[in-house]
């Protein structure tokens, strides 16, 4: 069963060059099997929060729990997909994906075949990274995270560097993968369409210090259609929840 994620009064301050509080007393509950997106302007602490959840950094205050247990460092039940694929160029697609399998046991060959098929790369197993498009490379990164069968998937703007058509294709693939696995998912994104298309709930964040100002429940059934009136209305509702930051004009919008 997927893990829940609990952020309780989480605070993170950085000291370079001067003390700056990125997150302050942040609370967030992500139910097991839910898909939650984090949106907000740059600098509000979205990626910092994701790094804390992944165990790649530690809060200075508060606590973060996965499945009721404290996160004290990287854990095999926490899968992470970054903005860049971060593949090893001297390894094939198959070898890069298999690097993600850290749990003992299981039929590695069967798991590899399953997840390559899931991301649509069965035909590309013997290719090297220089032979991959940007979209294919990011599919490899997703498969590498999934092959460990994590209870939580943490995605830090995984499609931000891709063209619009490739991005939509990978959003479709991720939606299908999540529907099959029902792994708890937390997505950092600047793209409101992406947040509406993929998530159940959207946490709207504000900066200085980073905090969640509201939660938006996406009122759309799955599978979702980007072309419908309802989708456009949901995006407009989400956009209306943003408010100008300090020293920013009232007409500011994403």
Q: What are the residue ranges spanned by the domains of the chain?
A: 1-77+184-213+238-254
Question: 48 falls in which pLDDT band (50, 70, 90)?
Answer: very high
Q: CATH says 1-77+184-213+238-254 is which class?
A: alpha beta
Short-list 144, 110, 114, CA closest to 129? 144
| % of the chain with per-residue pLDDT over 70 | 95
Averaged over 2-17, what is the pLDDT?
Answer: 91
Both tokens of 51, joined, read 């790094």
pLDDT in tens, 57-113: 999 999 999 999 999 999 989 999 998 899 999 999 999 999 999 888 888 999 999
Averaged over 41-55, what is the pLDDT?
Answer: 93
């Amino acid at each position: 069963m997927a893990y829940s994620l609990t952020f309780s009064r989480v605070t993170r301050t950085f000291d370079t060059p001067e003390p700056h509080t990125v997150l302050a007393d942040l609370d967030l509950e992500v139910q097991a099997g839910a898909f939650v997106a984090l949106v907000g302007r740059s600098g509000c602490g979205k990626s910092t929060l994701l790094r804390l959840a992944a165990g790649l950094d530690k809060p200075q205050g508060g606590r973060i729990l996965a499945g009721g247990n404290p996160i004290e460092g990287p854990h095999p039940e926490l899968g992470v997909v970054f903005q860049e694929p971060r593949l090893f160029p001297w390894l094939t697609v198959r070898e890069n994906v298999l690097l993600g399998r850290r749990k003992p046991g299981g039929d590695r060959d069967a798991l590899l075949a399953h997840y390559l098929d899931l991301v649509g790369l069965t035909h590309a197993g013997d290719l090297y990274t220089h032979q991959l498009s940007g979209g294919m490379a990011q599919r490899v990164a997703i498969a590498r995270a999934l092959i460990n069968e994590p209870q939580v998937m943490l995605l830090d703007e995984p499609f931000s560097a891709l063209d619009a058509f490739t991005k939509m294709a990978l959003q479709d693939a991720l939606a299908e993968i999540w529907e099959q696995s029902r792994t708890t998912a937390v997505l950092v994104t600047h793209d409101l369409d992406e947040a509406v298309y993929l998530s159940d709930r959207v946490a709207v964040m504000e900066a200085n210090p980073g905090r969640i100002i509201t939660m938006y429940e996406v009122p759309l059934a799955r599978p979702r259609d980007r072309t419908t009136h309802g989708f456009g209305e949901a995006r407009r509702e989400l956009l209306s929840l943003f408010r100008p930051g300090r020293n920013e004009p009232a007409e500011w919008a994403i």
